[in-house]
């Protein structure tokens, strides 16, 4: 027999033997239903200059009223994707079945924490009855000190301050659902012994606690206060436990402590973020990454990829809404004007009642571009004493503005504080910063509730002048710049019948409208496609854009007399409609007839 044949027989016999061993009836290992000891990463991005650490500073073990071993608290945290934890067993008498002191749970967990790469903070929950409540003391050197029976609450917190501990006022609304501060807490907040408060504890949210964070410049905290195994209280396969997001240079104990003392935290639970706007804003901006951006004067399109585990819900004026699901991409194709509007991010709180507010332009600015400034407040029918606040999210940027419609330059008026106006104005804003591309320009009409003066004219000739243009337009603002002037004339009222083309045209109507009485007039502009109405130099109604028949409404205080009027209208394709209505004080709504329009 040849040698090669012997080798072949050997391998056949070896394979048969191995196969028989794999199906040995004496022993088999089952693996299909076993769970691998693995870590699931939490996707919440870092912010510029800092790592975003996922932390839980409030949990219990068998050494107080929990039912889990200290080392298992570390294992749970590692598997779920946390970076930093504190085991904070109560300072009340320990269970009789354990022989230990108040440092034992920390000592038992420390070795596992070091192996797992989890930063373990030594702490304890200083536990008193109402009204003092419970306070977590972190970075303590000896938890036994706080369990002394002769220690008064004032002495305990004073000592915590002296030893450099970090004190959190826990669950302020527990157990009576009243989160008001007691004199004891106020005193130690003012002494800076208390440096944080739980705005969220487990499934309880205390909105007013965020106000305390702002008033006393302390850190907002969200903790699990877990007593059971974590999987028994949280659906961790679908979501996350309570987390405090700490923005630190690294996950060392010293860096965590520095960040906590500086108040660089955001509370997170149930897809909700609670914290200071500068940190929430950075989480949103780093989470929502824009690609394939095409930005025009009137329209834009892009992809927005949410790289975080947080779903963001933007709600804006007139039921506008954008939802960016966690770990997903959304394609946007919208009006540029929609991106300039201010949206409330509904799953955020920056104080007890207000959501974080920002325009979509916040996301669309390039990395080296100043973010467009914005105005949160209403600008329509405001009192002359109203002061207009302007915000630019780019730190260190200067906001420049004009009142004549021209684009601001670095030599334009500098915004330094909220401003007021004694007449309706067209405010144009732009922000600048050395080394950055200037921001996009924001244009806003400010309409006062004071009566607008008429022109000192006596006109007798009815009608409106019109200029008829042809061209493909996306906005009424493009008519004169992009269109071809075909004809001019006089029309009795705003009427698309002056057009000779069936599609792709624009018309500019101008003249005067006669207000027969002093008072507040309500206007309604109905158009298909876009139209913009100006009265007495005020852009009162904007129904711009390519759309089917729709109506916008607004009010304006007019004195009796002749007021300049301009209507810009364009048709994209298919139907063409344009009508202007008003409500004269004390009269029903009606279409404005030719008897109310005049030309010189």
Contact 240, 82 (CB under 8 A): no
**pTM as predicted:** 0.86
On whether residue 119 sits in a domain, the answer given is yes
**Phi-psi sector, 137: left (phi>0), alpha (psi -120 to 50), beta:** beta
On whether residue 41 sits in a domain, the answer given is no
On whether residue 267 sits in a domain, the answer given is yes
Q: Do 556 and 492 fall within a single domain?
A: yes
Q: Do 528 and 432 fall within a single domain?
A: no
- CATH number of the domain that 67 lies in? 3.20.20.140
Kindly give the pairing relationship between strand 505-515 and strand 597-599.
antiparallel
Count of the separate structural domains present in the chain: 4
Q: Do 430 and 478 fall within a single domain?
A: no
Q: Do 271 and 312 fall within a single domain?
A: no
Contact 474, 529 (CB under 8 A): no
For residue 312, give the H/E element and its range. strand 312-315
DSSP conformation class of 492: S
Peptide bond into 529 cis (omega under 30): yes
Helix (H, G, I), strand (E, B) or coil at 107: helix
- CATH number of the domain that 473 lies in? 2.60.120.1560
Q: How many CA atoms lie within 13 A of 137 on its CB side?
A: 29
Q: Do 71 and 200 fall within a single domain?
A: yes
The pLDDT score that the predictor gives to residue 96 is 82
Q: CB-based burial of residue 380 (10 Å sphere; 0-12 exposed, 13-18 middle, 19+ buried)?
A: middle
3-state SS track over 161-216? HHCCCEEEECCCCCCCCCCCCCHHHHHHHHCCCEEEEEEEECCEECHHHHHHHHHH
The pLDDT score that the predictor gives to residue 5 is 59
Contact 247, 279 (CB under 8 A): yes
User: Angle, nearest 10°, between helix axes 70-80 and 104-116?
Assistant: 30
On whether residue 545 sits in a domain, the answer given is yes
Question: Of 399, 420, 448, which closes a domain?
Answer: 448
On whether residue 455 sits in a domain, the answer given is no
On whether residue 99 sits in a domain, the answer given is yes
The pLDDT score that the predictor gives to residue 16 is 47
Residues 6+ apart with CB under 8 A from 560: 454, 515, 516, 517, 518
Q: Do 271 and 286 fall within a single domain?
A: no
Q: Do 312 and 260 fall within a single domain?
A: no
**CA neighbor of 337 nearest in space, from 575, 494, 484, 547:** 547
pLDDT in tens, 123-179: 999 999 888 999 999 999 999 999 999 999 999 999 999 999 999 999 999 999 999
Residues 6+ apart with CB under 8 A from 408: 400, 401, 402, 428, 429, 430, 441
Cα 403 to Cα 421: distance, rounded to the nearest angstrom? 10
For residue 118, give the H/E element and its range. none
Question: Of 448, 474, 496, which closes a domain?
Answer: 448
Q: How many CA atoms lie within 13 A of 435 on its CB side?
A: 4
The pLDDT score that the predictor gives to residue 374 is 95
Domain limits for position 308: 282-364
Q: Do 271 and 290 fall within a single domain?
A: no
Q: Do 111 and 220 fall within a single domain?
A: yes
- CATH number of the domain that 353 lies in? 2.60.40
Output Rg (C-alpha) for the chain, integer angstroms: 33
On whether residue 236 sits in a domain, the answer given is yes
Q: Do 113 and 136 fall within a single domain?
A: yes
Question: Of 215, 242, 275, which closes a domain?
Answer: 275
Beta strands in 449-504 (DSSP E): 461-462, 464-470, 484-491
Q: Do 256 and 354 fall within a single domain?
A: no
Low-confidence ranges of the chain (pLDDT < 70): 1-23
Cα 162 to Cα 526: distance, rounded to the nearest angstrom? 69
Task: Please state the separation of Cα 183 from the chain's center in Å.
Answer: 34
SS3 percent helix, strand, coil of the chain, rounded to 5, is: 20, 35, 40
On whether residue 42 sits in a domain, the answer given is no
Q: Do 251 and 287 fall within a single domain?
A: no
pLDDT in tens, 82-91: 999 999 999 9
């Amino acid at each position: 027999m040849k040698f090669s044949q012997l080798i072949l027989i050997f391998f056949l016999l070896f394979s048969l033997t191995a196969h028989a061993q794999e199906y040995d009836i004496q022993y088999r290992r089952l693996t299909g239903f076993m769970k691998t000891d693995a870590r699931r990463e939490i996707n919440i991005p870092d912010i510029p200059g800092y790592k975003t650490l996922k932390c839980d500073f409030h949990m219990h073990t068998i050494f107080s009223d929990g039912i889990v071993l200290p080392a298992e608290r570390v294992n749970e945290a590692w598997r779920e994707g946390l970076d930093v934890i504190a085991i904070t067993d109560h300072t009340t008498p320990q269970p009789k079945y354990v022989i230990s002191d108040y440092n034992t749970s920390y000592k038992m967990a420390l070795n596992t924490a070091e192996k797992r790469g989890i930063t373990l903070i030594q702490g304890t929950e200083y536990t008193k009855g109402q009204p003092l409540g419970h306070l977590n003391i972190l970075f303590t050197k000896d938890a036994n000190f706080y369990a002394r029976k002769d220690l008064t609450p004032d002495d305990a917190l004073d000592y915590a301050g002296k030893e450099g501990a970090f004190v959190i006022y826990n669950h302020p609304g527990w157990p009576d659902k009243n989160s008001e501060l007691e004199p004891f807490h106020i005193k130690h907040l003012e002494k800076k012994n208390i440096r944080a408060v739980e705005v969220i504890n487990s499934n309880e949210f205390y909105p007013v606690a965020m106000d305390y964070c702002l008033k006393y410049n302390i850190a907002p905290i969200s903790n699990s206060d877990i007593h059971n195994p974590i999987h028994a209280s949280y659906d961790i396969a679908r979501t996350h436990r309570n987390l405090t997001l700490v923005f630190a240079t690294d996950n060392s104990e010293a860096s965590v402590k520095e960040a906590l003392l500086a108040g660089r935290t955001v509370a997170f639970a149930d897809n909700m973020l609670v914290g200071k706007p500068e940190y929430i804003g950075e989480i949103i901006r780093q989470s929502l990454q824009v690609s394939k951006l095409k930005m025009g004067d009137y329209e834009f399109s892009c992809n927005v990829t949410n790289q975080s585990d947080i779903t963001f819900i933007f709600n804006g004026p007139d039921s506008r809404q954008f939802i960016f699901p966690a770990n997903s991409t959304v394609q946007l194709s919208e009006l540029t004007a929609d991106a300039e509007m201010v949206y409330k991010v509904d799953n955020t709180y920056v104080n007890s009642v207000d959501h974080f507010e920002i325009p979509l332009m916040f996301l669309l600015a390039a990395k080296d571009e100043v973010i467009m400034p914005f105005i949160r407040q209403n600008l329509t029918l405001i009192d002359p004493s109203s002061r207009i606040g302007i915000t630019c999210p780019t730190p260190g940027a200067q906001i420049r503005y004009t009142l004549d419609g021209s684009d601001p330059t670095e030599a334009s008026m500098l915004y330094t504080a909220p401003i007021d106006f004694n007449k309706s104005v067209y405010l144009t804003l732009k922000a600048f910063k050395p080394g950055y591309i200037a921001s996009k320009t924001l244009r806003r009409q400010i309409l006062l509730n004071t009566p607008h003066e008429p022109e000192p004219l006596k006109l007798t000739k009815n009608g409106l002048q019109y200029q008829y243009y042809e061209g493909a337009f996306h906005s009424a603002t493009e008519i004169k710049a992009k269109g071809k002037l075909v004809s001019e004339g006089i029309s009795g009222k705003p009427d698309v019948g002056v057009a000779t083309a069936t599609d792709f045209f624009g018309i500019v109507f101008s003249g005067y409208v006669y207000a027969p009485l002093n008072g507040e007039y309500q206007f309604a502009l109905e158009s298909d496609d876009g139209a913009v109405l100006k009265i007495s130099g005020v852009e009162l109604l904007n129904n711009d854009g390519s759309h089917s028949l729709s109506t916008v409404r607004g009010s304006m205080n007019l004195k009796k007399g002749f007021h300049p009027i301009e209507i810009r209208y364009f048709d994209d394709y298919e139907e063409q409609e344009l009508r202007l209505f008003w409500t004269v004080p004390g009269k029903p709504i009606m279409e404005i007839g030719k008897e109310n329009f005049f030309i010189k």
